[in-house]
Amino acid sequence: MSIIRPESIGYLIVSGIHRGRTCVILGYDEIGSVVVVFADDWHKQEVGTVQKGELVQLDLPGWLSFEPGEPTYELEEYIDQKMGSGSNLVRTSHIVQPRAMKKGDVLATSEIVMDAPRGGYTMSVLVRLGRTGWVELAGRLPIALQGNENYKLPIELVENDRLATGCLIVKKPHCPEVDWTNIFLDRESCEIGVPSCIPLALA
């Protein structure tokens, strides 16, 4: 099982001029070819086309792991200096943002992180959990780690709840599909899909 968007499923190109490269499917063109984004380097977002028969789905979704060794920081530094920068590397004893997760981390729900995070399409973060499998997360979300009892699952949030990173829930969440809950951060137009099993740390 996994909870990821179709755009983050990885494929191997097994023939043709792009043979051996990995990619995710972006869509289809007017003549039925598959439009792909090559997953060799998630920073480049290089687009190409292949034929349907040239693709085989991979066990690993998304892009290669993020750059190793980027320094993490405390929640206070994020709120005072880093919020909105796209860095999203909070790591404390009880709260972690998805990119700062490590193999062996235990979430407040007892799920165990099985691998280093990977890059998903549109800058999401893919994390493999022991029971759920791969989940796709927005990089800015504060995830509650084991020992943190101040959290809610996405569907349990109510208007005026505040996440640990300072974001305000401005509207009751809703579930547009199984496994996903959409939450509204700071304004109604900022709607983010979150896997329903993820414990979100509260302020």
Q: How far is CA 59 from the centre of its chain?
A: 17
Place of tokens 């995710």: 24
Please state, in angstroms and rounded to a whole number, the distance separating the CA atoms of residues 49 and 24. Answer: 11
**In this predicted structure, what is the pLDDT of residue 74?**
87
**Tens digit of each residue's pLDDT, the chain (203 residues):** 689 998 899 999 999 999 999 998 989 988 879 999 888 766 677 899 999 899 999 988 987 766 667 888 888 888 887 777 778 999 999 999 999 999 999 999 999 999 999 988 778 999 999 999 999 999 999 999 999 999 999 999 999 999 999 999 999 999 988 999 999 998 888 999 999 999 999 99
Beta bridge partners of 35: 27, 49
Q: Tokens representing 185?
A: 């951060």
- Amino acid 178: pLDDT: 92
* DSSP-based three-state secondary structure for 100: helix
What token pair was written down for 9? Answer: 């499923």
Any idea where the domains of the chain sit in the sequence? Answer: 6-57, 75-201
The answer to whether residues 181 and 196 touch, using CB atoms and an 8 Å cutoff, is: yes
- pLDDT score of 42: 63
Q: How far is CA 25 from CA 69, 115, 142, 184, in A?
A: 29, 23, 29, 28
State the pLDDT at residue 158.
97
Q: Residue 62: its pLDDT value, please?
A: 84
pLDDT at residue 152 in the model: 98
3-class SS of residue 54: helix
**What pTM was estimated for this model as a whole?**
0.88
Q: Just give the CATH number of 6-57.
A: 2.30.30.30
Q: Are strands 133-137 and 151-152 parallel, antiparallel or unpaired?
A: unpaired
